[in-house]
Structure 1
């Protein structure tokens, strides 16, 4: 059978399958196949007609069964499965999850849809439009048809705000500068509703606590001119006096140990504490009063405003100490035009113990598990301080890579103390709804790399974390100290150092201290945006003050040691930018650029190994083994025997782009392209081609691939298959290897095809 005949028969089979859906319909029923919208008349432009047609089609109900090229596979699955006997099993899953019940024409209400369409066009300024509805039957299928004849659209000629001198009218009038209702704009009922909400929001900032949008009306005068309207904004006469009155704050009462189930609030004289403008009723004396002074924005005599209202609630929630936060305002019994503010706070349990079992992947292409035991105290010194002490242990193995068998075992402990304020000799304040935090950390970790070496690491830091808003975050560590000391270096690793002296840098004692700062901006939580961004910039300044004070200069042999260990002196900067382009409801294009540079000077000849850059692996260039690329055109695999050494560099450039789309249910797919490399700042005779030069773009490694993501809501399991299309370590002129791709060749697959198993998205 030739190909054209085969395709013809296949098409007929699919068509017959589609038609067979109608034989499952109940007696006398028709299959609804959708609605047709026809825009008639000459009063509107082609552009208006097209926009109207799209909008009207979206609001007609019901929606027909989903189809692909005229076929309805989901409906067909629903029909052939029949009625499952149990609410479980394959048939039930196919019927309820894969299949789709038929949309019957008997469920279509032509008159209702007609009125919906009529209302829509009139609410958008097409007054005196005419709408009709009909249907067409073809065998056992039916289609609805709606004809809309809009008139010329009405535009806004003038917007008028209240002119009298009352407090409420004056406040409404002062909001007019930012009105959503503009001259020559098309009339829209939706915009009028939004304008009422906007005015109400502005009034809430001026003390009008009891006002709401329903107390506003916008009168429409369509007699002023041809196809033009005047809009008159008014406060309804039936609006209550309370709504027209601006209120100030009187008493501020806080119940920090409130029980939701309690019927009454008992107040004993010894449990009432007066602190500045606050009355705190804390019978068990759980909290220091000053934490409420920092969290609550209102002061006695302040004009009520919604911003301070919300900021206060946000701060109380962000303290992380309270399970429930409830707020209530009541009209004062003693003073007119005043509100008493009440805050009812239900604390979380002060102490907790949590055991976690984690599955994880890291940048070195290792996959493993970790056990964490965490003890927390949420109110350590009665100031909502959070003390967390944790112990952890885990094992990591490399699923795909030359380091398979060289497993990593880790265990350690860490203590963190977080204060919900800035602890500083200088007076620092944050005006956002997020509580600024001071954090102190101390920790120890023992890491054993099987057959190679062990490493002890001590860490400590003290710094500040604050957010200006929900999009921006700052982290400033005044000091961050790391001390690393090797142990149990095996003869095997010593042999590798002889062959590759740079491996000795990995097990050198390290002492790193100095400030770090990072800035993060993201609007990726704004799901309605088509374009969203993420940026993180980090700067690490190690040993700079100490180096300047001591005059350390390793090039002249003036290396300064602390407790017998030379301290590191360097500057490291890293920038990561991500862009997400929403292509559809279930698809997007995600891209990332990473640019980083580290410069060692003074007391250091080169960057410490743990602070250098790495590239390759499950979250980087996925077509290459973890940390196997670079630096530059250097081929690290040529000097490795038993295992593949981690390649590191002083400079990094990486670019990734990935098309993501939903395939079915919890399964999502991706196509991706990765490119990048690392380089050394200075020439290293042991690594020819590793130094950064003006030809760096010619030394980029490039890989491509595809993968699946299984979204289980509590975690995302990611599988990727990738292969290189440009190898930076090959001779110049031979680096593109597109012509060598051969998926059918087992030798090529073994050498080039990389499988990545990871948790979460790469970026």
Structure 2
């Protein structure tokens, strides 16, 4: 019956998709291309008869083919659906029949008839289709010649000054489509024969020769205009970081002399570097003055620049050659300001000091914006520095509200609030106090009550330095790396959610950022205590595990000694184990051999009991971890970059070492106890690499690889549930729901499947569709396994390289809408290769809409 239902359902969906495909394919992309016109469908560039696939070159062509979605010109066909002149079409329809307008006027009124002509259905729809669509790219040979000139100029910038360009258009009258081929005959490039200089400023002259060895323009090099631009940027940076505060990049020019009378085999050029004086534009004239090396003289810091207090309420203090002006309205420790400012009296001016100062002052999160102004002394080479600061409000209150729904929660409402107190101890310390709660209705009758609740709170203190007793960390981690120490403590309480966990956690962590591309994070102490309040609910919550146990108990329901463990008012043919008395009693009877059982049943009951104990025991996790992040992304619009993350975490070692000094109590399993709870001990290592490729015209290929492993030892033979890995979900393998994949080839026997080894990789092609709507095609591979822990099931463990055959493959389609500040995502995943099936039926067995998985997410998965 199920197969028949699925077949009919699939046939209906297939018919719908077929109809949609027919509609799309029936659109005529040439509808608005006149008989004497051609639609440009392809541009090809050849340099010396070699095809060039270069996005920068393609961007120089004026007439680009219409965009496509997976090869289909969707925006063009949407544009073609719009009426060219909807007003004329409406009037033609209105007056086509003699009495039509009169009848409509009597029925609606003359005013409403006119409004009908301006309505969305008549006019607005066509305008909307034109806005989201794309007009056909019709061949224009004038623009083709302009494109050719651009291509020629591009190669001239690379030294091919004698290049010749032509184009040819491949057209056919039948389909009115054109392919344009651009041909560039490069010739021989010009080479730099000699490199001279003409530097007017003696201060710059010495700086230039000290750094000339690293010049990007060298003798014997092929001429390339981009190298000259990069050299100007390099020299400007050197000069401005060596005292030439007001150096202008426009002062650097190059004289390029090429001898056009020489033979083609002797295409050489002579280059002269010119660095002129400082030019200042006045009202009526331009004046020049020599560049000079400036030194920092007096440094003034105004901490309450926007204060409305009168002048006599401003106080002054000198600290480390800084003059600090402050008011009673805002007070901050001088040392905090000194650590955030990198200008030093009597040192030469450096641009990098200005950048680092602005960056650090912003990172303190107590000032609105820093304003740094320099005043040059006309009689000397000194410059005074004035730093104006406007403090932010001391108190800031934020709230958030959310509505949620899931397979466990019919409806949930959550609210949270955060109070931020800035500069609480006058050293730029920021205290954050947050509280949040959620309340709602459950989707099932797992518990007697039909509601759930959850609430918690956190207190976090951030201060702008690395705090470590008895060590001056600024020598190891400089202040310009934005050092920060964070101390946090928090708790949360659940009611009618799983086993009703109570969680207490505290963190002492450090973070510093040496550059815009590297980030270091250390959590010296991360302590988490998890208490399961209602562990006797285990079989109510983990229904799959209960069903497995109850199926085993069916084989022993006629045992007289077990009768009290089964419900008396249930169906006599299939009595159910009572929770928790019956489940506990049956497990004890099997494990203690009170009744005889098969070896298979005994082993399965032992496995179930081991999992129950593991998931219901309280956890004390005492860890230290380090995370390294690196990227070369230059901004949010950069789509050609990589990201690398490495994290290593160690748990329990400090407590284990302490136990050798102070004896700890032990439980029956010889585990060391802290406050009556066995602490976890493991080592965990994670690697993640993300790479983006910009394929042109907002088409992006993104890939991710992840490897994580956590190995228990010493005081533990498994990993705590909250620190283990799972597979599936909107940011992982999207063809499976969270916790439903693995481990290994196990067929999701538990409600929440997790393990301590994870391998995953994702590949996603992203493309624009219409406006802010974007699409994606993706493939996700990966799985989880148990390794080096107490799980012995061969189907769930990673034993050798052969275990990689159990890697799952999910493929699918995605639809996204970009709201600018966030992106809403829908992904439909299909199980392409399912390791939970038998070997011969793993490929495409559940590859259909009936077994597809719809994932909802916010922002991109990676």
Match of 1:728 among 835, 839, 842: 835
* Alpha-carbon distance in 2 for matches of 1:105, 1:536: 50
Q: Deviations over 1:518-573 (max 9, x none)?
A: 22222344578775322222222222122123247979854332222222222222
Match of 1:73 among 68, 72, 77: 77
1:575-724 to structure 2, matched below 5 A, reads 575-637=687-749, 644-665=750-771, 666-684=773-791, 687=793, 689-694=795-800, 695-724=802-831
With over 3 angstroms needed to count, the CA separation of the structure-2 counterparts of 1:428 and 1:407, relative to structure 1, is farther
Match of 2:459 among 408, 415, 419: 415
Within the alignment, does 1:349 sit opposite 2:393 as a pair?
yes
Contact 2:512–2:519 (Cα < 8 Å) also in 1: yes
* Alpha-carbon distance in 1 for matches of 2:625, 2:635: 29
Contact 1:215–1:236 (Cα < 8 Å) also in 2: yes
With over 3 angstroms needed to count, the CA separation of the structure-2 counterparts of 1:77 and 1:690, relative to structure 1, is closer
Contact 1:37–1:53 (Cα < 8 Å) also in 2: no
Within the alignment, does 1:271 sit opposite 2:315 as a pair?
yes
Q: Deviations over 1:140-189 (max 9, x none)?
A: 99999999887754221122234889222222233322222133333344
Contact 2:163–2:185 (Cα < 8 Å) also in 1: yes
Contact 2:63–2:137 (Cα < 8 Å) also in 1: no
Q: Which of 415-424 and 139-148 deviates more?
A: 139-148
With over 3 angstroms needed to count, the CA separation of the structure-2 counterparts of 1:693 and 1:103, relative to structure 1, is closer
Paired residue for 2:350? 305
Contact 1:622–1:754 (Cα < 8 Å) also in 2: yes
With over 3 angstroms needed to count, the CA separation of the structure-2 counterparts of 1:369 and 1:234, relative to structure 1, is farther
* Alpha-carbon distance in 1 for matches of 2:529, 2:312: 54
Paired residue for 1:456? 502
Contact 2:277–2:290 (Cα < 8 Å) also in 1: no
* Alpha-carbon distance in 1 for matches of 2:457, 2:743: 34
Q: Which of 669-678 and 460-469 deviates more?
A: 669-678
DSSP-derived class of the 2:386 partner: strand
1:141-220 to structure 2, matched below 5 A, reads 152-162=188-198, 166-220=202-256
Paired residue for 2:616? 507
Q: Deviations over 1:74-124 (max 9, x none)?
A: 653455364694799544322323244888969x68998887677656555
With over 3 angstroms needed to count, the CA separation of the structure-2 counterparts of 1:111 and 1:739, relative to structure 1, is closer
* Alpha-carbon distance in 2 for matches of 1:592, 1:397: 37
Contact 1:362–1:618 (Cα < 8 Å) also in 2: no
Within the alignment, does 1:758 sit opposite 2:857 as a pair?
yes
Within the alignment, does 1:374 sit opposite 2:418 as a pair?
yes
With over 3 angstroms needed to count, the CA separation of the structure-2 counterparts of 1:301 and 1:350, relative to structure 1, is same
Paired residue for 2:359? 314
Query: In the TM superposition, what is the alpha-carbon distance from 1:51 to its structure 2 partner?
Result: 6.1
Paired residue for 2:340? 295
Match of 1:445 among 483, 492, 496: 492
* Alpha-carbon distance in 2 for matches of 1:64, 1:703: 33
* Alpha-carbon distance in 2 for matches of 1:326, 1:603: 56
Paired residue for 1:227? 267
Within the alignment, does 1:545 sit opposite 2:667 as a pair?
no
Q: Deviations over 1:246-273 (max 9, x none)?
A: 111111111222239x8xx975485112
DSSP-derived class of the 2:658 partner: helix
Unaligned runs of 5+ in 2: 1-21, 88-116, 280-286, 541-578, 588-604
Contact 1:614–1:678 (Cα < 8 Å) also in 2: no
* Alpha-carbon distance in 2 for matches of 1:211, 1:445: 57
Within the alignment, does 1:533 sit opposite 2:642 as a pair?
yes
* Alpha-carbon distance in 1 for matches of 2:72, 2:713: 66
* Alpha-carbon distance in 2 for matches of 1:570, 1:141: 65
Contact 1:354–1:375 (Cα < 8 Å) also in 2: yes
* Alpha-carbon distance in 1 for matches of 2:799, 2:25: 62
* Alpha-carbon distance in 2 for matches of 1:659, 1:39: 25
DSSP-derived class of the 1:460 partner: strand
Contact 2:641–2:692 (Cα < 8 Å) also in 1: yes
Query: In the TM superposition, what is the alpha-carbon distance from 1:276 to its structure 2 partner?
Result: 0.7
DSSP-derived class of the 1:18 partner: coil
With over 3 angstroms needed to count, the CA separation of the structure-2 counterparts of 1:98 and 1:443, relative to structure 1, is same
- Structure 1 or 2, whichever has the larger Rg, is 2
> How many residues align structurally?
720
Contact 1:75–1:102 (Cα < 8 Å) also in 2: no
Paired residue for 2:306? 259
CA RMSD after TM alignment: 4.5
Alignment TM-score, normalising by the size of structure 2: 0.73
DSSP-derived class of the 1:93 partner: helix
DSSP-derived class of the 2:213 partner: helix
* Alpha-carbon distance in 2 for matches of 1:146, 1:574: 49
Paired residue for 1:640? none
Contact 1:37–1:145 (Cα < 8 Å) also in 2: yes
Q: Which of 512-521 and 549-558 deviates more?
A: 549-558
Contact 2:732–2:780 (Cα < 8 Å) also in 1: no
Query: In the TM superposition, what is the alpha-carbon distance from 1:10 to its structure 2 partner?
Result: 11
* Alpha-carbon distance in 1 for matches of 2:27, 2:397: 59
With over 3 angstroms needed to count, the CA separation of the structure-2 counterparts of 1:520 and 1:233, relative to structure 1, is same
Query: In the TM superposition, what is the alpha-carbon distance from 1:360 to its structure 2 partner?
Result: 7.7
* Alpha-carbon distance in 1 for matches of 2:56, 2:632: 28
Match of 1:740 among 840, 845, 850: 845
* Alpha-carbon distance in 2 for matches of 1:550, 1:55: 64
DSSP-derived class of the 2:500 partner: strand
* Alpha-carbon distance in 1 for matches of 2:827, 2:290: 60
* Alpha-carbon distance in 1 for matches of 2:635, 2:27: 41
Contact 1:590–1:658 (Cα < 8 Å) also in 2: yes
Contact 1:363–1:617 (Cα < 8 Å) also in 2: no
Paired residue for 2:133? 98
DSSP-derived class of the 1:672 partner: strand
With over 3 angstroms needed to count, the CA separation of the structure-2 counterparts of 1:316 and 1:361, relative to structure 1, is farther
DSSP-derived class of the 2:671 partner: coil
* Alpha-carbon distance in 1 for matches of 2:752, 2:170: 70
Query: In the TM superposition, what is the alpha-carbon distance from 1:137 to its structure 2 partner?
Result: 13
DSSP-derived class of the 2:732 partner: coil
Alignment TM-score, normalising by the size of structure 1: 0.81
* Alpha-carbon distance in 2 for matches of 1:409, 1:131: 73
Q: Deviations over 1:438-492 (max 9, x none)?
A: 0010111012344x43111111111211112122222211211111212234555
Contact 2:30–2:39 (Cα < 8 Å) also in 1: no
DSSP-derived class of the 1:617 partner: coil
DSSP-derived class of the 1:630 partner: coil
With over 3 angstroms needed to count, the CA separation of the structure-2 counterparts of 1:363 and 1:180, relative to structure 1, is farther
* Alpha-carbon distance in 2 for matches of 1:300, 1:704: 62
DSSP-derived class of the 2:485 partner: strand
Query: In the TM superposition, what is the alpha-carbon distance from 1:364 to its structure 2 partner?
Result: 11
